[in-house]
Structure 1
């Protein structure tokens, strides 16, 4: 079966070949790429009703921030469903387009540093803990991998449709 973005984390797994969390979260390719986007292009939308590049960067950051909190809950044995969220509502309530792209990148990097710090505290036992995402049971490790898959999905969209 070929997965699409509507399949959520199942699709995101197809974008990730590396399975080592430290390697995935310490990779700099996303940051190198988004730092190359000039401010004058950062507000670009490829269609009027699509997010701007700034909004995508803010969304990726929000996604990681939200999903890491859920990962934390799962790692501590809290009975939690790794539920979704209304991404359009959150982006529409943001002020990403009013901010400089450098500030959005700095925020993303700070969230990533916190994610790396959290991941370093996890044991092999914790990474095997399972939770539910929609109708799928998923390990904490795979849930963390899907966060990077989500990031890659959006970076691929920027490369293909925005620049």
Structure 2
């Protein structure tokens, strides 16, 4: 199934979904996994724990956020695929960010965890039927489908990698 099969298009998360290609979900997730193999680790090491503005996350914080978000959305996808009718709780990404030790970890460690997490996410999605992908669930941001979550994760990664490229690359000195 492709992103054009998403119905309804979730209003808040569409900014991530629109960053993905119009391909089958399996391919979108495969592309996102491959993008993780192309990360400019040496450049990021040169940036270290610098931020582009006070109060912003480091690159390591962003990677940890991507890991946390993917885990939460994997849970939501599983719940929706299995027919869960309860509203999924929200999470405070800023609070999560304050309660990590991302900046004490290595970039390699965080990237490895992100890759493992993505492989697990893809394996879960390979088990879903088209019927399961089209199941909708209720979250604090409204109704969206298991299919939408797959594209949200691929697009969320691109969103943050774009932010890093646009706002952090000039800090590598």
The TM-score with structure 1 as length reference comes to 0.88
2:26 match: 22
Distance 1:153 1:29 in 2: 12
Structure 2: tracts of 5 or more residues without a match: 1-10
* 1:48 positional shift: 2.1
Change (3 A) 1:35 1:139: same
Aligned length: 157
1:4 match: none
**Higher RCO (CA < 8 A, seq sep 6+):** 2
- For 1:23-38, list aligned pairs within 5 A: 23-27=27-31, 28-38=34-44
Structure 1: tracts of 5 or more residues without a match: 1-6
Task: Pick from 151, 155, 159 the counterpart of residue 161 of structure 2.
Answer: 155
Structure 1 runs of 4+ off > 3 angstroms? Answer: 34-38, 133-136
- For 1:1-150, list aligned pairs within 5 A: 8-27=12-31, 28-134=34-140, 136-150=142-156
* 1:84 positional shift: 3.0
The TM-score with structure 2 as length reference comes to 0.83
Distance 1:31 1:15 in 2: 19
Distance 1:127 1:143 in 2: 9
